[in-house]
Amino acid sequence: MPIPNTPIRLPIPPVPRGFRMAGVHAGIKRDATREDVTLLTSDLPATAAGVYTTNLVFAAPVAYDRSLTPGCGFRGVVVNSGNANACTGERGLDDARAMATEAGRVLGVAGEEMLVLSTGIIGEFLPLAKVSAGIAAAAASLGANDAAAVSAARGMMTTDTRPKLAGKTFAAAGSSYTVFGMAKGAAMIGPKLATMLGVVLVDAAIEPADAQRLLVEAVEETFNCVSVDGHMSTNDTVLLLANGAAGGATLHGDGLAECGRAVRDVCELLAREMADDGEGATHVMRIEVEGSETRDDARRIARAIADSPLVKTAVHGADPNWGRIVSAAGYAGVAFDPAVLVLRVNGTLLFRAGAPVPFDAQQVSDAIRNSRETLIELSVGTGPGRIRFHSSDLTADYVHLNADYHT
């Protein structure tokens, strides 16, 4: 099934100082209009942090990057799409190292200073000759303008219909800084991270341990709160690079906290974009759970709702079938009193105190049908736990895309 192209939904953010990027078509994908190799480079040595899939079956680039981060002295990231380099044994590890070495060679830096990301079909060896040609072409096209950012984001895409880019600025100790993020992800999204690649760039100076903590915290509240189909990937990776090109002292204290908030905001925008661009999606679901004993409890309830095929199909069909939502919450494995549940969909009260509330079903159905986003709000008690979770509906196009993915 052909993958459609849809317009970029968010404003194209500025690239932070000292970073350049490009994406090119190298022939890994059959469609010559779709980029499949991306190169990102920092003019200055950068701190790098990473968060990775928890799948026991993980791809070669995950093993490679995980062995190097967190750390400092990095000069960039090389990415290919169309081939995951997963379940490829020792040859896969050698190929990941070869990607880093080749990227370092064309940039004039050591291979160990380059990180590697891959995404695509599992169980096929990388076409290294094509990847190497793509690296050389991308190196010759590096830039920091809008076109460079869009091409780089496109080079990460698989079944995504559009590039996903987000940015934020913040100030600390009299200096202004820029955070830039790009991500891919449209399916195999969940239960942690998503089937996703993400790169966040910051032109502030940050210590490796602080960068790792900021990234872990941001991922926990954003990419770990999105699900399209509940299938965890072998390649999930989010990288953070901070190069200090904006000047100013290394961030600590309040400045570091400001940076953390900006990184989290960028990741939140990208996570929502992934749910919105879920394969075949016609609606994005924003699920807000509150009143649980802990945040993790709220997350488990939200995830049960997000992953329910019955909830997803109800949203697709604009069916205000509140029983599916309540029952999904009930099997999430979290203790709560059903007599205190309160459920609203798009602001309309549907269920309270263990019983349905009279409502205009046609009005609620129309509200779901006529809005891209469906808001599901569930209160399960009076505890401090709360979460915001994003997901998408389940459509016939999702089935077609995944039935035809390999062919």
The set of catalytic residues is 195
Residues near 52 by beta carbon (within 8 Å), at least 6 away in sequence: 58, 62, 65, 66, 193, 236, 237
Tell me the one-letter amino acid at 301: I
Of the candidates 104, 72, 68, 77, the residue with the CA atom closest to the CA atom of residue 20? 77
Is residue 51 within 8 A of residue 185, CB to CB? The reply is no
The SS3 call for residue 350 is strand
**Rounded Cα gap, residues 13 and 278, in angstroms:** 22
226-227 and 385-392 as β-strands: parallel, antiparallel, unpaired? parallel
End-to-end CA gap in the chain: 9
Of the candidates 224, 195, 194, 209, the residue with the CA atom closest to the CA atom of residue 71? 209
Task: Give the bridge partners for 168, in sequence order.
Answer: 179
Q: Does residue 310 come out as left (phi exceeding 0), alpha (psi in the -120 to 50 range) or beta? A: alpha
Phi/psi of residue 118, nearest 5 degrees: -140, 150
The SS3 call for residue 92 is helix
Task: Give the bridge partners for 119, in sequence order.
Answer: 81, 83
Give the other-Cβ count within 10 Å of 151's Cβ: 20
